[in-house]
């Protein structure tokens, strides 16, 4: 069997952005027929059948989409776990003013201060800060809190059960500040973390402190002008005295690829600036030299596959991130904090090397003038952990639309909650 003519279940799920269960259902319904690989009996798919589906999937989306919203007044955000500023940049680009940002990493704080001297950056552990001075002074609180399991003693699933976790701190700040809307972001894995109990606990906590949680969504960055297959879970809480619905941003039709990220064109006015970057060890470089653009470990000679993959060679699954060379005509796989480590290779299409710092930043849609502090490894870490700026901007537009609706409604009615009082 010629490997490039057939793709595994995992590979097709990644390419089409669909779950494995959806693909199995499509197979049963005759929408995308699978065949069985004769040796392993695994479900595989013909390349021509996959290609025939891609165009219809794209045309399902409206071609005339523009999420842009103009703020009717100055809206302010307090951001927690701010990192290197990916989300903050996006919110700023949408028209939201960043009042204060908290971050514990000193290099990320230096990055924020160097690029935005006017931002108030609170450096240090969130536990050490009191945010009551911002009560009713900002409309939005955001934060990319880490995913941690809770203690379920007492089965309350409330704020006290979350003590010692960073979501507790996020919720504490929301309670202290009393914003109209709070937005948390996390990895997609939060959906299944501790069999869904962690997310359940988070929703329960926000309910306890006075916020209704909008149905959680996982946003795919490639649908929001980001040339990268990155997914972020978004958790939105609306203060219970606000009778206005929040709507997630509408995804765009166009999908940007690596060429759009690194070359002059639709996303950027110039080619990517030159910069420093990591290198592969010589042994890995010799192996990746053999991998074509859009290829990965399965494109290596059989003997080298077994040597490089080790025990993983005999396990199921596509493992498409291993020995992976990105093609110019596809979005990048999700960037990690360490570009040269095994299992998460993101090799340049033409040169056998990891992406440079500025290439990394482009794929995350940072502006070219955004400088990163610290060593090369620190810079990669900051960029790899960031929310893509363009995704942040589209989220910002959706928040502005919500706040505009609140503002208009408060001015049209004699409701007990006026907008001025609410903030």
Could you list the active site residues?
A: 147
Structure tokens at 197: 């109990």
- The helix or strand, by DSSP H or E, that contains position 46, with its residue range, turns out to be strand 43-46
**All residues at 6 or more sequence positions from 190 whose CB lies less than 8 Å from its CB, including other chains:** 147, 198, 199, 233
Which residue's structure tokens are 């003997």?
Answer: 303
Angle in degrees, CA 323, 327, 333, rounded to 5: 60
- Report whether 44 contacts 58 (CB < 8 A): no
- Report the alpha-carbon distance of residue 179 to residue 175 in Å, rounded: 8
How does DSSP classify residue 291?
Answer: P
DSSP conformation letters of 382-401: HHHHSPPHHHHHHHHHHHHH
Structure tokens at 319: 């493992």
Structure tokens at 368: 């070219």
- The helix or strand, by DSSP H or E, that contains position 8, with its residue range, turns out to be strand 6-8
- HSE-CB at 281 with a 13 A cutoff on CA atoms is 5
**All residues at 6 or more sequence positions from 331 whose CB lies less than 8 Å from its CB, including other chains:** 222, 226, 227, 228, 229, 255, 256, 257, 258
Angle in degrees, CA 247, 251, 255, rounded to 5: 165
Runs of H (alpha helix) within 116-222: 166-177, 197-208
Which residue's structure tokens are 């927690």?
Answer: 80
- Report whether 16 contacts 52 (CB < 8 A): no
- Report the alpha-carbon distance of residue 226 to residue 267 in Å, rounded: 9
């Amino acid at each position: 069997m010629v490997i490039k003519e057939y793709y595994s279940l995992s590979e097709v799920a990644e390419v089409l952005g669909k779950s494995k269960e959806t693909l199995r259902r499509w197979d049963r319904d005759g929408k995308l027929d699978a065949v069985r690989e004769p040796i392993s009996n695994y479900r595989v798919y013909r390349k021509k059948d996959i290609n025939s589906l891609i165009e219809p999937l794209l045309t399902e989306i409206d071609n005339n989409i523009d999420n842009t919203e103009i703020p009717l007044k100055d809206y302010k955000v307090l951001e927690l776990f701010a990192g290197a500023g990916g989300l903050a940049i996006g919110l700023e680009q949408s028209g939201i003013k960043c009042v204060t940002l908290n971050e514990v990493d000193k290099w990320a704080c230096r990055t924020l201060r160097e690029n935005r001297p006017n931002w108030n950056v609170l450096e240090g552990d969130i536990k050490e800060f009191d945010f009551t001075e911002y009560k009713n002074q900002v409309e939005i609180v955001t934060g990319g809190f880490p995913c941690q399991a809770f203690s379920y003693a007492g089965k309350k699933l409330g704020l006290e059960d979350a003590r010692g976790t960073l979501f507790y701190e996020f919720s504490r700040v929301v309670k202290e500040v009393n914003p109209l809307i709070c937005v948390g972001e996390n990895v997609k894995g939060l959906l299944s973390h501790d069999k869904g109990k962690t997310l359940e606990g988070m929703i329960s906590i926000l309910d306890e402190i006075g916020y209704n949680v909008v149905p959680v969504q996982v946003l795919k960055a490639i649908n929001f002008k980001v040339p990268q297959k990155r997914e972020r879970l978004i958790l939105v809480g609306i203060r219970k005295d606000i009778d206005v619905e929040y709507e997630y941003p509408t995804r765009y039709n166009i999908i940007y690829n690596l060429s759009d990220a690194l070359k002059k064109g639709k996303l950027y006015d110039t080619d990517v600036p030159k910069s420093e970057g990591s290198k592969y060890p010589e042994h890995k470089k010799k192996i990746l030299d053999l991998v074509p653009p859009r290829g990965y470990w399965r494109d290596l000679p059989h003997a080298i596959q077994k040597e490089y993959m080790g025990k993983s060679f005999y396990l199921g699954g596509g493992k498409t991130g291993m020995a992976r060379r990105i093609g110019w005509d596809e979005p990048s796989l999700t960037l990690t904090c360490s570009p040269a480590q095994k299992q998460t290779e993101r090799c340049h299409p033409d040169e056998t090397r990891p992406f440079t710092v500025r290439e990394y930043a482009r794929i995350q849609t940072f502006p070219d003038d955004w400088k990163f502090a610290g060593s090369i490894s620190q810079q990669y870490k900051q960029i790899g952990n960031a929310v893509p700026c363009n995704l942040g901007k589209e989220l910002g537009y959706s928040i502005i639309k919500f706040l505009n609706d609140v503002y208009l409604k408060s001015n049209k009615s004699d409701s007990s909650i006026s907008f001025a009082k609410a903030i």
